[in-house]
Amino acid sequence: RFHGEGYQEGYAEGSHAGVVEGRRYGLLHGAKIGSEIGCYLGFALTWQCLLQKCTDEKNSKKIRALDSLIGMIQKFPYEDPTYDKLQEDLEKIRGKFKQVCSMLNIQSDFRNSTERSSLTF
């Protein structure tokens, strides 16, 4: 009897701890993905505005790539954590971002760190 009661109490405690840990993990990683996607969108919108004034063929390819990246980001399912292709779509967005950076001749090194940056003189 004591063995059964102990098992039930331990199981309930473990389930509760697992839910709390899972929620914390989900919030942390969701925030990282949101920050990354937000950075990509801000980057793309800024470059789209900068390149709108130029109308040559070279820039039109860049603008089309930026439009494609913006469209992919806008279609990304932010509100659905159960979306099966979340990682797949995220990888496609990362790939498109790298392609756009290559076309613009910009280094694509998005870093999401929790460390504080410091200024040095």
The CA-CA-CA angle for residues 27, 32, 34, to 5°, reads 90
Whole-angstrom distance, CA of residue 121 vs CA of residue 119 = 7
> Can you give the pLDDT at residue 112?
55
> Can you give the pLDDT at residue 21?
92
> Can you give the pLDDT at residue 73?
94
The answer to whether 92 and 76 have CB atoms below 8 angstroms apart is: no
> Can you give the pLDDT at residue 59?
82
DSSP state of 117: P
Instruction: Look at residues 86, 84, 71 and name the one whose alpha carbon lies nearest to residue 33.
Output: 86
Whole-angstrom distance, CA of residue 56 vs CA of residue 107 = 23
Q: pLDDT 10s per residue in the chain (121 long)?
A: 788 888 888 988 999 999 899 889 888 888 898 899 999 999 999 999 988 877 777 788 899 999 999 999 999 987 787 888 888 999 999 999 999 999 998 887 656 555 544 444 3
> Can you give the pLDDT at residue 110?
57
- Measured CA to CA in angstroms, residue 73 lies from 19, 36, 67, 78 at distances of 30, 11, 10, 10
Whole-angstrom distance, CA of residue 16 vs CA of residue 30 = 21
